[in-house]
Amino acid sequence: MIGETQGCKKEGYVMTEKKVQPVFQKIDLLDPEAFAPELRSQIERINLHLKEVEDSNRKYKEQMEQAVAEAEEANKAKSTFLFNMSHDIRTPLNSIIGFTELEMQHPDDRVKVTEYRKKVMLASHQLLDILNNILEMSRIENNRVVIEEELTYTKDFFNTWTSVFDGAITKKNLHVTTDCGIIHPYLYVDKTHLSEVYMNVLSNAIKYTPEGGSISLTAREFPGDEPGTCIVEAKVRDTGIGMSEEFLDEIYDRFSRARTSSQCGIQGTGLGMSIAKELITMMHGTIDVKSKLGEGTEVTFRLPHRYGEDPHPDHQEFTPNKLDFKGKRILLAEDIDVNALLAIEILSLHGFEVDRARDGVECVDMLVHSPADYYDLILMDIQMPNLDGYDATTKIRKLNDPGRSGIPIIAMTANAFKEDQQRALAVGMDAHIAKPIQINRMLATIGRFLRP
**Is residue 299 domain-shared with residue 156, that is, in the same domain?**
yes
What's the total number of domains in the chain? 3
What gap in Å lies between CA 163 and CA 202, rounded to an integer?
A: 11
**For 336, which DSSP code?**
-
**Is residue 277 domain-shared with residue 302, that is, in the same domain?**
yes
**Is residue 185 domain-shared with residue 274, that is, in the same domain?**
yes
What gap in Å lies between CA 11 and CA 268, rounded to an integer?
A: 43
Instruction: Please provide residue 344's backbone torsions phi and psi, each rounded to the nearest 5 degrees.
Output: -65, -40
Tell me if 25 is assigned to some domain. Answer: no
Of the candidates 258, 294, 253, 255, which has an alpha carbon nearest to the alpha carbon of residue 277? 253
Mean pLDDT by 10 residues, the chain (452 residues): 40 44 52 65 77 84 87 73 64 81 88 87 77 73 78 83 76 91 91 84 90 94 92 95 85 58 45 84 94 93 91 53 78 93 91 95 96 94 94 95 93 81 91 86 88 58
pTM of the complete model: 0.54
Residue 173 exposed, middle or buried by CB count within 10 Å (0-12, 13-18, 19+): exposed
**Is residue 211 domain-shared with residue 347, that is, in the same domain?**
no
**Is residue 370 domain-shared with residue 271, that is, in the same domain?**
no
pLDDT at 234: 94
Question: CATH number for the domain including 46?
Answer: 1.10.287.130
Question: CATH number for the domain including 242?
Answer: 3.30.565.10
Tell me if 250 is assigned to some domain. Answer: yes
Among 144, 179, 201, the domain boundary falls at: 144
Tell me if 262 is assigned to some domain. Answer: yes
Tell me if 6 is assigned to some domain. Answer: no
Tell me if 177 is assigned to some domain. Answer: yes
CA 274 to chain centre: 11
Tell me if 3 is assigned to some domain. Answer: no
CA terminus-to-terminus distance, the chain: 74
pLDDT at 267: 47
pLDDT at 411: 94
pLDDT at 10: 40
Residue 366 sits in which domain range?
Answer: 320-447
